[in-house]
Structure 1
Amino acid sequence: MSMTGEKYVGMGLAMASSMLIGASFVLTKKGLMNTSAKYGSASDSFAYFRNWIWWCGMVVMGLGELSNFAAYSFAPAVLVTPLGALSVIVGAILASIFLGERITPTGKAGCALCLLGSMVIILHAPEDEKIESVDEIFRLCLRPWFLLYTIAVTLFSLIMIFKVAPKYGRSNPLIYISICSLVGSLTVTACKGFGIALKLTFAGNNQLTHVSTYVFAFTVALCIVVQMNYFNKALEVFSTNIVNPIYYVFFTTATILASITLFRGLSKTDTVDITSLICGFLTIFIGVFLLNTCKAELAATDKCMADSINLREIRTIDHESSDSVGLLESHHRQSSFHHDSPIALSPEEEQAALSRSSETLTPGTLRYADRHSIQV
């Protein structure tokens, strides 16, 4: 297969991966919602293991990740990584259909920009060098510029992990996100090396006898553990509306930088294509930002509506409480002027006042009743 043919195979795998992963988010959430409705808590009791929709989501996600892994074996990371934004679009559209979630005009504009940016990148992405063996890509990793990049990422990550993150990680989202983004760029590079080894092996050129294959496999496992650990830390502390767009921009930028350094992907690309790629990246970045802004807008609107409802309920309760207090005060004043022959409430009035008081007593009502020895 020609390099151009492999590029389009990788592009197809990347797009299929985005669609599968986007659909898996909706299936997984639907399964969790059904489980919560049936058993109460879905995560505490692991009841979602009994839900077939949740399992469908997990299977679809696994297929999506496999497709994404295979895409790096055929197409340059400059093309594959930005196409991951399509999963956000697929997830948003399917969530609006099957979960009843809303997409604001801002969110629709974000989806359109992601599609536009993806098309620009597809049309102008460069091709990788032709790789004949896993040892060849390992030698590319030993080039001075990429070796310098790897050392810089490793030192930066170690300093952030052991010095900066323990002190400032929970106050600044850039700390956790920078760690998982930079380590993630090495994950993608190692994935590409390991994926090429498997592709060549399946094509009849056995690469499992090469030490380089296992070096890449070990690097993939190690980097994924570090990457996911700090990504989960970021999600635990900060809002997804903050983490997702920042992580996407950082991870995509770091991955593209690593790929260009490794393969010199832009050395044979003209100025028009380079400019178009940069514009495509920026368009996708803005689209992802608008999509997450849409989520923030919906969350803020829902919170305002809930606060408004709660405020109306509080005012209703206070009004009923005031009526009860007024009735009790009236009774007390009348009693104070007629000590010898106190005026008693009718049974119906007394029962109504006591009933409202017991249901809607506020701290002010209780203090008044206690001060005047009124039993409520």
Structure 2
Amino acid sequence: MVGGGGAEQELSADNVKGIVLALLSSGFIGGSFIIKKKGLRRAAVASGIRAGVGGYSYLLEPLWWVGMITMIVGEVANFVAYAFAPAVLVTPLGALSIIVSAVLAHFILNERLHALGILGCVMCIAGSMVIVIHAPQEQEITSVKEIWIMATQPSFLLYVASVVLVVSVLVFHFSPLCGQSNVLVYTAICSLMGSLSVMSVKALGTSLKLTFEGKNQLVYPETWFFMLVVAICVLTQMNYLNKALDSFNTAIVSPIYYVMFTTLTILASIIMFKDWSGQSLGSITSEICGLIIVLSGTILLHVTKDYERIPQSRTGIYAPLSPSSTPRLNGELLRRIEDDARSPEDEEKALRRQEMY
């Protein structure tokens, strides 16, 4: 299976399918960040209540739905990718979505991408290539019951219990307290739930793949249980990702979310599916190095962004707003910004100032 001394593995046909689907998925998801961001802005101006402070008017905004459909297409491709390739391979390729998001944000949202940010993009691509070259082969699974055994092993149950506990504390204590001022709260919730959703997606995808091959897995209650877990985790991720995108700059949310999500998902996959079992030390080391390069690239994309303070606008209202400001005040300020802005550039600056705080 694996040569000694860290020899490179030949990619299987299933791994190649997983890679192609993962790359397509990242392109769609990266673009959806920008489209949804524009939709959230429009909804906030129209309704006066931002999603970041509890508003749901974005559900009536067509542009937000375009972004959501784009994300769904990407997630479907990602879903299928997990049915063919291990999470250790598929998840890090999500770095492409960060690159797409950063480049589009530079041109569409005026969130500047500097030279070091470009270096971060290159690092993400290079690290992903290293991971692809040394990716483990997917172990053969013949029934969803095999996955259920993996999901109920003590080590993974301990991981699940830890995730549920941490998410509960974040949602009920830290989210109301500092969710609007600390980007780690919302992104941590998304990432922790995301690691569980990927494991369930992997299980569900494999079940459907076996079903289409003639081995019906829909007769087993385990398949439907995994489907329920996927629904709960995805809905939770959507809710808190919307809050994060509306409360903070896209170039902050995307890299932090990716770093946390990727790390936790790979950890969960190693615990549940034993992805590194049978691999040589050299291959494992190469994968870890590739992952570190990818994560470093996403961090570089984050820290090199331009977050200068925007001068006072004609409204006479200064940033930052207090975290205790009411949702209606945020909405009224957005309306006044739209009414008083001298040019599209002035409006863009004022909206950017709101995002930063």
Decide: shared fold, TM above 0.5.
yes
Alpha-carbon deviations, 1:204-235, whole Å to 9, x = none?
22111110110000111112223333334444
- The alpha carbon displacement at 1:55 in A equals 6.5
Unaligned regions of 5+ residues in structure 2, if any? 1-9, 49-56, 315-357
2: CA distance, partners of 1:173 / 1:15: 27
Q: Which moved more, 1:87-96 or 1:183-192?
A: 87-96
Among 104, 107, 113, the alignment partner of 2:117 is 107
1: CA distance, partners of 2:91 / 2:158: 22
- The alpha carbon displacement at 1:183 in A equals 1.9
Which one has a bigger Cα radius of gyration? 1
- The alpha carbon displacement at 1:159 in A equals 3.6
2:23 is aligned to: 15
Distance of aligned partners of 1:84 and 1:222 in 2 relative to their CA distance in 1, 3 Å threshold: same
SS across alignment from 1:180:
helix
1:357 is aligned to: none
Distance of aligned partners of 1:98 and 1:161 in 2 relative to their CA distance in 1, 3 Å threshold: closer
1:185 is aligned to: 195
* Count of matched residue pairs: 296
Distance of aligned partners of 1:154 and 1:79 in 2 relative to their CA distance in 1, 3 Å threshold: same
Alpha-carbon deviations, 1:254-278, whole Å to 9, x = none?
1000000011111212121122112
2:319 is aligned to: none
2: CA distance, partners of 1:170 / 1:94: 25
Give the TM-score of the pair, scaled to structure 2: 0.72
> Pairwise mapping of residues 122-201 of structure 1 onto structure 2 (< 5 A)?
122-170=132-180, 172-201=182-211
SS across alignment from 1:81:
helix
1: CA distance, partners of 2:139 / 2:124: 28
Among 208, 225, 240, the alignment partner of 1:215 is 225
Q: Which moved more, 1:89-98 or 1:141-150?
A: 89-98
8 Å contact kept, 1:106–1:293: no
1:71 is aligned to: 81
Higher relative contact order, structure no. (Cα contacts within 8 Å, ≥ 6 residues apart): 2
2:295 is aligned to: 285
SS across alignment from 2:12:
helix
2:92 is aligned to: 82
2:214 is aligned to: 204
Q: Which moved more, 1:257-266 or 1:230-239?
A: 230-239
1: CA distance, partners of 2:205 / 2:30: 23
Among 228, 252, 256, the alignment partner of 1:246 is 256
Distance of aligned partners of 1:20 and 1:241 in 2 relative to their CA distance in 1, 3 Å threshold: closer
Q: Which moved more, 1:281-290 or 1:228-237?
A: 228-237
1: CA distance, partners of 2:24 / 2:157: 33
Paired residue type of 1:103: L
2: CA distance, partners of 1:114 / 1:103: 15
- The alpha carbon displacement at 1:240 in A equals 4.1
1: CA distance, partners of 2:11 / 2:157: 26
Distance of aligned partners of 1:183 and 1:60 in 2 relative to their CA distance in 1, 3 Å threshold: closer
SS across alignment from 2:277:
coil
Query: Is the helix fraction higher in 1 or 2?
Result: 1
SS across alignment from 1:206:
coil
- The alpha carbon displacement at 1:58 in A equals 4.6
2: CA distance, partners of 1:163 / 1:26: 30
1: CA distance, partners of 2:224 / 2:32: 30
Distance of aligned partners of 1:184 and 1:98 in 2 relative to their CA distance in 1, 3 Å threshold: closer
8 Å contact kept, 2:98–2:258: no
2: CA distance, partners of 1:72 / 1:228: 20
2: CA distance, partners of 1:99 / 1:239: 10
- The alpha carbon displacement at 1:5 in A equals 1.4
The alignment's C-alpha RMSD in Å is 3.2
2: CA distance, partners of 1:236 / 1:216: 30
Alpha-carbon deviations, 1:68-114, whole Å to 9, x = none?
11111111111111111101212334555677775321221111111
8 Å contact kept, 1:128–1:263: no
Counting aligned pairs with the same residue, the percent is 48
SS across alignment from 1:266:
coil
Give the TM-score of the pair, scaled to structure 1: 0.68
- The alpha carbon displacement at 1:246 in A equals 2.5
